Amino acid sequence: MSRTIYVAFLEGFNPSWGENLPARLTEWVPGPIEPLSSLALGMDPYYAPERGQYNATLVLARLLRYLPEPQAKIVGLTNVDLFIPVLTFVFGQAQLEGPGALVSTYRLRNEFYGLPPDAGLLRDRTIKEVVHELGHTFGLVHCRDYECVMHASTYVEEIDLKGPGFCSACRGGLHAATGTNATLGAGG
Ligand SMILES: [Zn+2]
Ligand SMILES: [Zn+2]
* Alpha-carbon separation of residue 156 from 64, 91, 147, 182 (angstroms): 27, 9, 13, 27
Name the pairing type of β-strands 82-83 and 92-94: unpaired
Q: Which ligand is nearest to the CA of 131?
A: 1
pLDDT at 78 over 70: yes
Among candidate residues 113, 53, 58, the one with its CA nearest the CA of residue 89: 53
Q: Distance from the CA of 172 to the center of ligand 2, in angstroms? A: 9
- Which ligand ends up closest to the CA of 162? 2
Ligand nearest to the CA of 84: 1
pLDDT exceeding 90 applies to what percent of the chain?
A: 85
Can you tell me the distance from the alpha carbon of 91 to that of 103, in angstroms, rounded to the nearest whole number?
6
Catalytic residues, by residue number, are 133
Structure confidence at residue 178 (pLDDT): 85
97-136: pLDDT as tens digits: 999 999 999 999 999 999 999 999 999 999 999 999 999 9
Q: Are 23 and 52 in contact (CB under 8 A)?
A: no
Say whether pLDDT at 183 is over 80.
no
Q: What percent of the chain has pLDDT over 70?
A: 94
Q: Is the pTM of this model over 0.85?
A: yes
- Ligand 2 centroid to residue 166 C-alpha, Å: 5
CATH fold group of domain 5-128:
Collagenase (Catalytic Domain) (3.40.390)
Cα separation, 43 vs 158, whole angstroms: 28
For residue range 137-166, what is the model confidence (pLDDT) as tens digits?
Answer: 999 999 999 999 999 999 999 999 999 999
What does the pLDDT read at residue 179? 80
**Centre of ligand 1 from the C-alpha of residue 150, in Å:** 6
- CA 115 – ligand 2 centroid, Å: 30
Of 126, 124, 130, 97, nearest to 29 by C-alpha is 130
* Alpha-helix runs per DSSP H in the chain: 21-25, 56-63, 119-137, 156-161, 168-178
131 touches 28 (CB < 8 A): yes
Residue among 187, 125, 178, 117 at smallest CA distance from 150: 187
Q: pLDDT digits over 56-73, tens only?
A: 999 999 999 999 999 999
